[in-house]
Chain A
Amino acid sequence: MNNKSKFLIIAKRDYLNIVKSKGFIIGTFILPIFWLIIIFLPGLLASYFFEKTEMRIAVVDRTDKGIGKDIVQSEPNIFFLVENSQNELNAKILDEKLDAYFIIDNDNLKANSITVFTKGGGGVAYITTIEKVVGKAFRKHILQEKGLDATLIKHIETDLKVETKKVTKEGTKKDYTTFYSFFGYFAGLLLFMLIFLYGGFVMRGVVEEKANRIIEVLLSSAKPFDIMLGKVIGLGSVGLTQILIWIVLLSVISIFSTQIVSLFLAPQPTPRNISPELTAQSTFPANIEIPPIPFDFVIFFIIYFLLGYFLIASIYAAIGAAVDQEQDAQTLMTPINIIFLIPIFLITLIVANPDGLASTLLSLFPLFTPILMIARMSSTTVPFWQLALSVILLLLTILLCVKISAKVYRVGVLIYGKRPTFKEIFRWLRQA
């Protein structure tokens, strides 16, 4: 029998084993929802928690210029006017009848500063709110005194809107730089999670075969390298299947995106008491428009998934072979995980300046390539030679890793008992 096809039989088993499982079906359809939550929830929460406060804050206006009224008008749920003395207000705070108060007089206005009295603590949200609301009221008053009219003041208070256009051979096009940078960040993160998810499958599979002693039967049936390769290819194909399903889903959704988005957004008028700048600043873009995702990006997402996965999976297979049970693998995995976690912290920098020298070099470093290159690709046009070079460098690294891992796998898979240290694993390498 042809030895070449043995790894295919092994790959087929591992592939079907996962794809047929309930977990895969659930994961494929639940994970995207989970992802949407991860993407949007922090933004929504941040705008809610950091800029909204549940405190009731008393305002004592001693300026007789109506500034207090302006403040109360812009956030009537938080601020209210009082005319008590400071002693009375202090007593109310001690009795816990009042969360906070501040006094505005002409000196405050001149110095552009106020003092807020509270019972202490209370988080930062109320400070942010006071800064924003009171600052705006102060600026408005000063500009009014200089004789500016209301429409002009409103104009000054609005943030500058920057629209970017992309010059192409077919003329200028709308450029979605902001969207793509945002998208690049999450594409990188998604890639990272997928690579480690499927790498983890490989590790667990190897440990299972070792712990259940199936490995002995396998070793009497196929070469160790074929067993390892079969497992890596089989589980990688599962990942590929999942990505392809998502691509199909995403294309279907993007075709109907305008309908879907309008369905969700149209019946929601902006609540009146939320100031316009709060809405504009929330992470969620106000005008939702899903720009097209370029085809070459999709192709490279798949290429970098496969390459990154191969790298991690071969290392994880060796780790799985070296230990007797999953818990023991953790110590060996940590240093490797840390190296691969670095690009996650670098994504924001890369996305901010994707064409810089640092970005280019970092994204060409093979261990960082999959995540950083995908982030760069989404935020700029990466020259083709860089993509080609990164793929070649990655392939060479994989070749080296697979060679070392196969040796560790071969020796480790039959050794039971004590959890090996890195030192012992290096000794196996010399042995094999």
Chain B
Amino acid sequence: MFALEVNSICKSFKEHKAVDNISFAVEKGKIFGILGPNGAGKTTTIRMIAGVFFPDEGEISVLGERSVEKIQHRIGYLPEERGLYKKMKVIDQLVYFAELKGTPNTLAKQKARLWLNKLDAKDWENKKVQELSKGMQQKIQFLSTLLHEPDLLILDEPFSGFDPINVEIFKNVLLDLKAEGKTILLSTHIMEQAEQLCDDVCLINKGKVILKGSIADIKSTRSADTVICEFYSNGAELPSLTNVKILNRTQNRLEFRFNPSEFNIRDFIKELADKVEIKKFEITTPSLREIFIDEVTKGEK
């Protein structure tokens, strides 16, 4: 059962083709990530799904409906560029957006108070938005997208602008919502976040899908070519590394990818064990980020 189906959608702005024949489907109750670099077409895709504008070609079916207008109250949308009425009180603002989504006034007020309490933001209730810090405003905006208990949440770069503590808080909020059976579609260019949160992903670049599927499936097709090792070096020199791609190198940690035909991993381990005291050694599949970079460069060749 799909909460969202996107079928060969295209969207152009003047000469520029922002979205070029993108298709994917989001299973109900899953967290789905649209990943890609800046300018890949993530926001354009998301805006079309949220009903902000319509695709030039192709079809989108949200919660089984072709016309987004009919199910507007069942979706919650967090745009990439946040915006609230600066001079409106926090509580009024939350109630207003919930009312627009069909929640009755008193119920909306109750829920707004409940959520503000939950996020330790009770004191903000009667403050105007302009009196709040950027991060606080972000929190309010996040709340406004889920107060009306939507079945589908559409979040464009949901964690940008949050400090690590708030990122954790809202990650947990999303996981709770998922546990309740809600579907979440989010976009991000931070692959690590997607890796931790998403069940399925769709990688897009230059308006085209370059990879899609569950994170587990995508990883299982890759060979284990990534080495992560931690050690106590005590200033000793490491074995020479030629023909590898170094991803991260600090005094006590080394991460690199190798090509088995060009690099002898057995020799490397022996040499390393001679020189330093190894704390951890792992050969694993590449991270989502690496897979993405592989796919992009492959496409460009």
Chain B residue total in the interface (Cβ 8 A): 28
Partner of B84, one of A1, A212, A219: A212
Bound CA–CA A220/B72 (angstroms)? 6
Given A212-B85, A223-B69: A217 and B53 interface contact (C-beta under 8 Å): no
Number of A-B contacts (CB under 8 A): 63
Stretch touching chain B among A5-13, A162-170, A384-392: A5-13
Q: Which residues of A contact B144 (CB under 8 A)?
A: 217
- Are A221 and B84 neighbours in the complex by a CB distance under 8 Å? no
Give chain A interface residues in 212-240, CB to chain B under 8 Å. 212-223
| Across-interface contacts of B50 in A (CB, < 8 A) | 216, 219-220
Contacts A6-B100, A13-B96, A220-B51 aside, 7 further interface pairs with beta carbons under 8 A come to A1-B73, A10-B100, A17-B85, A213-B82, A221-B72, A221-B100, A222-B100
Do the beta carbons of A217 and B51 come within 8 Å of each other?
no
Majority SS at the chain A contact face: helix
Interface residue from B47, B72, B81, B84 paired with A222 (Cβ < 8 Å): B72
Q: Using CB atoms, name the residue of chain A closest to B100.
A: A221
In this assembly, does A125 line the interface, its C-beta being within 8 Å of a C-beta of chain B? no
B112 CB-CB contact with A under 8 Å:
no
Closest approach, in angstroms, between the C-beta of A420 and any C-beta of chain B? 13
- Residue A414 lies at the interface, judged by CB distance under 8 Å to chain B: yes
CA gap between A223 and B72 in the complex, in Å: 10
The yes or no answer to B42 lying at the interface (CB within 8 A) is no
**Residue B245 at the A interface, CB < 8 A?**
no
Q: For the complex formed, measure the closest distance between the CB of B218 and the CB atoms of chain A, giving whole angstroms.
A: 30
Minimum Cβ distance to chain B for residue A44 (Å): 40
In the bound complex, CA of A332 to CA of B168 (Å) = 47
CB of A220 within 8 A of CB of B85, answer: no
Quick check: is A3 within 8 A (CB to CB) of the other chain? yes
| Binary contact readout A183-226 vs B (1 if CB under 8 angstroms, 0 otherwise) | 00000000000000000000000001100111111111111000
Question: Chain A contacts of B68 at CB under 8 A?
Answer: 220
**Residue in B52, B99, B102 whose CB lies within 8 Å of A414:** B52
* Complex: A13 Cα to B93 Cα, angstroms: 9
A379 shortest CB reach to chain B, Å: 43
- Chain A residues within an 8 Å CB radius of B53: 219, 414
Q: Mark A390-432, 1 if CB is under 8 A from B, else 0.
A: 0000000000000000000000001000000000000000000
Task: Name B77's contact: one of A1, A9, A13, A220 (CB within 8 Å).
Answer: A220
Are A9 and B85 neighbours in the complex by a CB distance under 8 Å? no
Report the bound CA distance from A10 to B100 in whole Å. 8
Q: Across the interface, do A9 and B83 meet the contact criterion of CB distance under 8 Å?
A: no
Question: Which A residues, 78 to 95, have Cβ-Cβ distances below 8 Å to chain B?
Answer: none
Q: Report chain B residues within 8 Å CB of A214.
A: 83-85
B101 touches A221 (CB 8 A): yes
**Interface size range on A against B:** 20 to 34
Question: By the criterion CB–CB under 8 Å, are B88 and A217 in contact?
Answer: no
Specify which chain B residues have a CB less than 8 angstroms from the CB of A221 in the assembled complex: 72-73, 97, 100-101
List, in ascending order, chain B residues with CB within 8 A of A212's CB: 83-86
List residues of chain B with CB within 8 A of the CB of A222: 72, 100
CA distance A17 to B128 in the complex (A): 12
Q: Which of B53, B68, B75, B87 has the most CB of A within 10 A?
A: B53
Separation of A10 and B68 alpha carbons in the complex (Å): 19
Q: In angstroms, how far is the closest chain A Cβ from the Cβ of B156?
A: 9
Most buried by A among B84, B99, B144, B154: B99
**A residues with CB within 8 A of B:** 1, 3, 6, 9-10, 13, 17, 208-209, 212-223, 414
> What residues of A have a CB within 8 angstroms of the CB of B99 in the complex?
9
Interfacial chain A residues near B72, Cβ < 8 Å:
220-222
Q: Are B84 and A216 in contact (CB under 8 A)?
A: no
Closest A residue, CB atoms, query B53: A414
For B50, the closest partner residue in chain A by CB is: A220
CA distance A92 to B154 in the complex (A): 89
Question: Could you say which of A3, A215, A217 contacts B97, with CB atoms under 8 Å apart?
Answer: A217
Query: Could you list 25 A-B pairs, sorted by A, with CB under 8 Å?
Result: A1-B73, A9-B99, A13-B96, A17-B87, A17-B88, A208-B85, A212-B86, A213-B81, A213-B83, A214-B84, A216-B47, A216-B50, A216-B52, A216-B77, A216-B79, A216-B83, A217-B83, A217-B144, A219-B52, A220-B51, A220-B72, A221-B72, A221-B73, A414-B52, A414-B53
Which of chain A's residues has its CB closest to B76's CB? A220
Minimum C-beta distance from A426 to chain B (A): 16
Q: Which residues from chain A contact B81 at a C-beta distance below 8 Å? A: 213, 216
- The residues in B between 66 and 124 inclusive whose CB is less than 8 angstroms from any CB of A are 68-69, 72-73, 75, 77, 79, 81-88, 96-97, 99-102
Kindly list the 5 A-B residue pairs having the minimum CB-CB distance in the complex, ordered from nearest: A1-B102, A213-B83, A220-B77, A212-B83, A216-B79
**Minimal Cβ-Cβ distance residue in B for A227:** B100
The CA of A414 and the CA of B48, in the complex, are separated in Å by 12
Please report the C-alpha to C-alpha distance between residue A214 and residue B145 in the assembled complex, in whole angstroms.
Answer: 12
Nearest-neighbor residue (CB-CB) of A215 within chain B? B83
For the complex formed, measure the closest distance between the CB of B71 and the CB atoms of chain A, giving whole angstroms: 10
Q: Say how far A210's CB is from chain B's closest CB, in angstroms.
A: 9
Residues in B with CB closer than 8 Å to A218 are 100
Contacts of A216 in B (CB 8 A): 47, 50, 52, 77, 79, 81, 83
CB contacts (< 8 Å) of B88 on chain A: these are 17
- B96 cross-chain contacts in A, Cβ below 8 A: 9, 13
